[in-house]
Structure 1
């Protein structure tokens, strides 16, 4: 067995072969570890801890081997360890419920079918309006070339400005979003917005495999100087490029605490945690701007909106919830 940080090409090979999750490429993020079993193929992507361990998505393995790989990983953790699995899809739940996990919806993910996407009509009116506004403000969009040092320096400046503008009370869910560098950088694509010769915003996109292949919108940053509509113009430019290349889907990723519905909760859901997550969804702007993130994604009239879940080993423990929030930089 191997619990080390696996080389990115080896992880990518596993994801290409077995992943059917729009955010699977996050398993390549720096800091994520990968458990491999001698008994079953595939990997478990996770963040280890002293007692509380965080797993990202379900095991990336052949369907028939996922249960065996998960069981082997749980045995590896040993008695006294507590596992929390985050960003599970609905079809993953049975795997965890059969092993005594309590599962709750944590948010929703959104996907655009590029073969059906159109800017025409009322649903995309706000996108058209904002894109036109950015163009009137002389914003243009280009795709970054590999290894461009000048672009990297400009993006570093944007990152610093973004953090200053957000303030100390607003934090990103770092375990659940993409990253600009790290081991997966060679496979990511970055689109830049420029105005009067300066880069004012960017979005990175990661590859997606499985039943809805295409690209994942996984990280966006904008400087305070970016006009209204800049992010929409970047995403429209990238979306158009992907469609022209024959890509089938553009995934907008998970928005935690958004799209929560009690009818989507599994029977094992904790009522207390359900109430707490709904409170965060309504009033938790300081924890995470779920409403604004959800509103941005809904403006694109996504063709698929599906729930994602978090599962706690045995039961929902206060310590496990706290450790999860610490791991994703939400507290």
Structure 2
């Protein structure tokens, strides 16, 4: 039997104790639902989408309790005549799901920088340094700001950013972070200005687990922003986060990238693999993977971590379309 729905503060404490997914903080996004089981210290984050309960990341609990929590969540889904579709699973999650009867496929990868080893010195960063310097010569000033204090300015920038995406563009949800909300004070926000006007910003969310640090999350820039603005903001943030003792900077999950047959677990669906590869080659209108990866590879990440999706039972095209609709990609 599920226990009472936890408050957001309790979910955050569970993430601090057990989360080992660099995107776990996104489980605190608005409209996320939570499942808990009596006698287990942990939770499952999910959203309801048609016939599916779409689980975000694996069960957040101690290793010994994760199988029982997942089993209880599946029973909860069945009681509502739903199936479970899990996204952004880590490689360490795949055995739990595959042995539980899920079909598991690689969906993409996340990228991370070990800040203790990071430097912009050397020939391979010449172009990046030049872009950052050019942004500085344009008058760019980067500051760390209180999200609430600059909300009106950033909301206006968000509108400009979305208009620049085209008439039918939509803002992605669910698998990307948020700038506002109850947990906004837990994030760190770095804002770039030229002549006092906001030209771009990056929001960073905390990361727990074996690679603790910060997640390079929500990014926005004005259409007229000069080249190098986002790189300069991130470089400024790296310095600040490093000085505060952060271990890792996670550049986030990018779907349809770093795909490798060697990463597919036993029992992976050939049909899903074909769809994911097709989107990798032709899906820029769904998600700008190539642009995202190009930005991330500029920083020469130290870790490229495969991430997975898992279908309860046999996968279907309908489940994939439901997931894309939930993420506002279609």
Does structure 2 retain, via aligned residues, the 8 Å contact 1:257–1:290? yes
Residue 34 (structure 1) aligns with: 34
- Say whether 1:74 aligns with 2:62: no
Aligned partners of 1:256, 1:169: CA distance in 2, in Å? Answer: 21
Kindly state the Cα deviation for residue 321 of structure 1 after the two structures are TM-superposed. 1.1
Residue 128 (structure 1) aligns with: 129
Q: Indicate the RMSD between aligned Cα atoms, in angstroms.
A: 1.3
Residue 222 (structure 1) aligns with: 221
Kindly state the Cα deviation for residue 171 of structure 1 after the two structures are TM-superposed. 4.1
- Mark the CA change 1:284 to 1:147 in structure 2 (over 3 Å): closer, same or farther: closer
Q: Describe how 1:120-269 pairs up with structure 2 within 5 A.
A: 120-145=121-146, 147-148=148-149, 151-269=150-268
Q: How many residues align?
A: 328
Kindly state the Cα deviation for residue 172 of structure 1 after the two structures are TM-superposed. 4.4
Structure 2: gaps spanning 5 or more residues? none
1:67-107 per-residue CA deviation (whole Å, 9 max, x = no partner) reads 00000111111164211100000110011111111111111
Residue 13 (structure 1) aligns with: 13
- Say whether 1:89 aligns with 2:90: yes
Does structure 2 retain, via aligned residues, the 8 Å contact 1:22–1:251? yes
- Mark the CA change 1:197 to 1:252 in structure 2 (over 3 Å): closer, same or farther: same
Aligned partners of 2:182, 2:105: CA distance in 1, in Å? Answer: 31
Structure 1: gaps spanning 5 or more residues? none
Kindly state the Cα deviation for residue 147 of structure 1 after the two structures are TM-superposed. 3.1
Does structure 1 retain, via aligned residues, the 8 Å contact 2:106–2:263? yes
**Matched residue SS, 2:174:** helix
Residue 294 (structure 2) aligns with: 295
Kindly state the Cα deviation for residue 124 of structure 1 after the two structures are TM-superposed. 2.0
Aligned partners of 1:226, 1:204: CA distance in 2, in Å? Answer: 18
**Matched residue SS, 2:100:** coil
**Matched residue SS, 2:49:** coil
Aligned partners of 1:45, 1:215: CA distance in 2, in Å? Answer: 20
TM-score of the two chains, using structure 1 as the length reference:
0.96
TM-score of the two chains, using structure 2 as the length reference:
0.96
Kindly state the Cα deviation for residue 39 of structure 1 after the two structures are TM-superposed. 3.4
**Matched residue SS, 2:223:** coil
Kindly state the Cα deviation for residue 267 of structure 1 after the two structures are TM-superposed. 1.9
Aligned partners of 2:124, 2:184: CA distance in 1, in Å? Answer: 34
Does structure 1 retain, via aligned residues, the 8 Å contact 2:162–2:171? no
Kindly state the Cα deviation for residue 263 of structure 1 after the two structures are TM-superposed. 1.7
